[in-house]
Structure 1
Amino acid sequence: MRIASDAISFLDTVLDRTIAPGYSRVGFRMRKRHWPDNDPRPESMRGRTALVTGANSGIGKATAAALAGLGATVLLGVRDLERGAQACRDIQATDPDADVSVVRCDIADPVSVTECAATLAHRLSRLDVLIHNAGVLPDTRQETAEGHELTLATHVLGPLLLTELVAPLLGAATDPRVIFVASGGMYTQRLAVDDPEYRESPYQGVTAYARTKRMQVALTPLLAAHYAPRGISVSSMHPGWADTPGVATSLPGFHRLTKPLLRDAAEGADTVVWLAATEPTPASGHFWHDRRSRPEHYLRRTRYSDEQAQRLWRYCRDAIHPASDQPS
């Protein structure tokens, strides 16, 4: 039995290091053969409430559908209410019992994030799961009204602000969990602590995306420590290569070449759902892929110091709380 377990672990590691098979549907389906059939348990989310940002389509929508299928009350945090309502109808067409609804949340806009948090505080007594899935991949550098680069605002600043604002609701839950949907592309990037807003480097959309996903992973252990006194678990994960509308639109060449190998949205969402619903709670502060904790680095050049991670954390805290709006 030990030999078989070691062989499975070795194969899993080989798949992960070779990337192409590991991140594809091949890797997912090979690993799935060794997962328990009843994990997460049916109805394991009954009585629990989850918020999934960017849930109009793709992995976010698949995550919302899967959590609702496990019995959760799921809020789709979306920028476009009409598209969010359509996503709810799509989910309920497949699962008429799905308890899904929409709340507006433009994660890059701090005003919208604050309004979303206020709405949740009015509607809910607690929030059990918060999933940061919303993402963008612009071709050119864009800034928000507050002057922040758009991918940083969407993937890092907005999620940090929303987590902070709903922390009282999360703290009221028995087993609260926060999950960041990152990207395997972050493995190629250093921590851009000296130029987080992409003001100095020539802008490349794919690189900006991967850089901010690296930031999510780097901040995960710090957030885990920060929220540990409230009993809130914080994790990050990457979904592998999934066939989603975002990939097809933003990376058409990659999508065309790899389409036969891409996971479907539900396969991409699997580890998100597992992190939200499995028992016992997975270890906080870790980075996951296909239900297993993964290294944060495969390249020596991407490594960063604790001091650099702390610098990024301080920069982001200052960005979401301008000097005139610092909490007392």
Structure 2
Amino acid sequence: MTVDRELTMSRAVVEAIGTEMRENDEVFYMGEDVADYGGIFDSTQGLLEEFGYDRIMDVPISETAYLGAAVGAAQQGMRPIAELMFVDFFGVAMDQIYNQMAKNTYMSGGSVSVPMVLTTAVGGTYSDAAQHSQTLYGTFAHLPGMKVVVPSTAYDAKGLMHNAIRDDDPVVYMYHKRLMGLGWLPSPTGPKTPVPEAEYTIPFGRADVKREGADATVVTLGLHVHRALDAAATLAEEGIDCEVIDLRTLVPLDRETVIESVEKTGRLVVVDEDYRSFGLTGEIVSSVAEEALDALEAVERVAMPDVPIPYARELETEVMPAAADIEAAVRNVQ
């Protein structure tokens, strides 16, 4: 199917939300600055004009209160989308997120479901310091009861959002600020993609091979899909052929696609903007080691060091994984 139009990731997300709201009156959106302002990362631009304040709801700066309200609404049969402006703020409402949203179906013996989406912005690279720049994918993926979604392109963002809103379990939908297509925070080349106008879903737990290759497997997600593709283009000039896998979701996690690729290439590089210790990179490496150790000839991890994200641009650039770091890691496993 030929698609003539391209969308930024923010427009693709809004398009999916708008479609779901038109089709289901139980879907509504709540968060800080999501109504008149349209979301500080353009996550709800244009929705207020169509749906009004009853369904696009600005809330007080009290994550504990409105995330708790979203859990209650979901348990009563509605399908709320609740925006946590920055993922770094999760600590304010961790009881509502992990002890209620994630556990209530289990603790009720299945008598209630919590069909809600928690959207949140992740990532750095724009000098917003230690309390506004983390990714924390691994934190949410580590805690059972929540599905965790991390799109890297507009096409994926729309399909994954449709699936998230329709899911009967709580979904944490994490979008990287640098990928949204904001005028004040430019995206790299790549996130703006052709997007069909018709609705479609992308199943959770199905990674996407963004680039096929034979010499090394690079596994990543979010912003670093694009950095990995940039690195792969440079390495191709040296005769090194990289396969780039975009996980798209952490829970459920498509280990099979990763293992199949490593069985082909024999070499694994895992790239993550989250912290190195106790996170995604270790999970991927251990999964491959458990299932395909004989095929694994070499492995490298590229991730954020275990330090708060610096404010100073030079220091933030120093700790943030870059395409050059991925290139170096791939060369090391050859």
Q: TM-score range by the shorter chain?
A: 0.3 to 0.5
So what's the TM-score if we normalise by structure 2?
A: 0.38
So what's the TM-score if we normalise by structure 1?
A: 0.38
Comparing both structures, which one devotes a greater share of its residues to helix? 1
Which structure is richer in relative contact order (CA contacts within 8 A, separation 6 or more)? 1
